[in-house]
Amino acid sequence: MLQRFTGKKLSKREKQEERVFYLFISLWLIGFLAFTGGPMIASLFISFTNWTGVKSISFIGMDNYQTMITDKLFWITLKNTAYYAFASVFFGTVVALIIAILLNQNIPGRNILRTIFFMPSVTQGVAIAIMWLWVLNPQVGLLNYGLSFLGIKGPGWVTSQTWAMPALVVMAIWQNGQAMIILLAALQGVPRMFYEAASLDGAGQWAKFRNVTIPMISPALFFVIVIGVVGSFQIFTTVAVMTRGGPGSSTMVYVYYLYQNAFSYFKMGYASALGWILFIIIAALTWVQFAAGRRWVHYE
């Protein structure tokens, strides 16, 4: 491979190293083709069929993609997912940055606090969803119980069309410990001399934050936002466990609708088409973010 790109003839030792390289990655390549690349190609073919997963496959061309245009539930799921993605990523990043700044201070027990804030992000999704069902219970839940001390009658949360999606957003923010750790590491990498130079120029705390902190941690912020958007468009577990898309269709998100078409309605062809549209949406959003990132992300 090296000879093909450089035109240089490989030595006997280099050829041996190349064979060893391919030997070591062969298992990964086989796994990728069998469990990722192969199914992706197969799903693209299935998206042009009316396959149910049981009966024989019939090619129907672009019918599945044309059906989406008139499928009202498709547009509802797209709107709900976009709402969830924007709210969870925006507020989640802001909260994670605030917590990272606070935990970057020299305060007692900060290592314990960092662990506490990070722990929800490594806990299994089903267990977290069940716990939050109890916390959000309108009768005996901890949240409404706490609000009662303030004289506030808490809503039904996951049983309310108004509050079900905000409840899922709050859960996502609570589980955003990974973003907090990444931003905390970025904050610790900002050289102190920049703050000292800004102080000599008469900059206040807000000016330092805007002109020093944000530019210096912008690559980490960019990474957190991109990964957050990709992950938020694939929300499934919490919806499947807590709301099942309800009440009504207020929490019917894209991936759960895809799952229903595939394994409840046995519309494998339509579900595959939904999957490829999701792939295109995420790829387009990622491209837009990279294009916009050139204006505000500063690399050393």
Determine the pLDDT at residue 254. 97
What would the pLDDT profile of 111-160 be if each residue is shown by its tens digit? 999 999 999 888 888 999 999 999 999 888 999 999 999 999 999 999 99
In total, the chain counts a number of residues equal to 300
User: Across the strands, what pairs with 59?
Assistant: 49
- Is residue 5 scored above 50 in pLDDT? no
Beta bridge partners of 49: 59
Under 8 Å between Cβ of 293 and 279: no
CATH of 65-296, one of 1.10.3720.10, 3.40.50.2020, 3.40.50.300, 3.40.190.170: 1.10.3720.10
- What's the whole-number average pLDDT of the chain? 92
φ and ψ of 64, to 5 deg: -60, -40
Instruction: Give the pLDDT confidence score for residue 49 in this predicted structure.
Output: 96
The stretch 201-224 carries a mean pLDDT of: 94
DSSP 202-251: T--HHHHIIIIIHHHHHHHHHHHHHHHHHHHTT--HHIIIIITT-STTTT
| Sequence ranges of the domains in the chain | 2-46, 65-296
Q: Give the contacts of 157 (CB within 8 A, at least 6 positions apart).
A: 136, 138, 141, 143, 144, 163, 164, 167
Q: What is the pLDDT of residue 8?
A: 65
Task: Kindly tell me if the per-residue pLDDT of 2 is higher than 80.
Answer: no
Classify burial at 297, counting beta carbons within 10 Å of its beta carbon; exposed 0-12, middle 13-18, buried 19 or more. Answer: middle
Question: What does the alpha-carbon distance between residue 166 and residue 152 come to, in Å, rounded to a whole number?
Answer: 17
Is residue 179 pLDDT above 90, yes or no? yes
- Please determine, for residue 15, whether its predicted confidence score (pLDDT) is greater than 90: no
pLDDT digits (tens, 9 = 90+) for 84-117: 999 999 999 999 999 999 999 988 888 999 999 9
SS3 59: strand
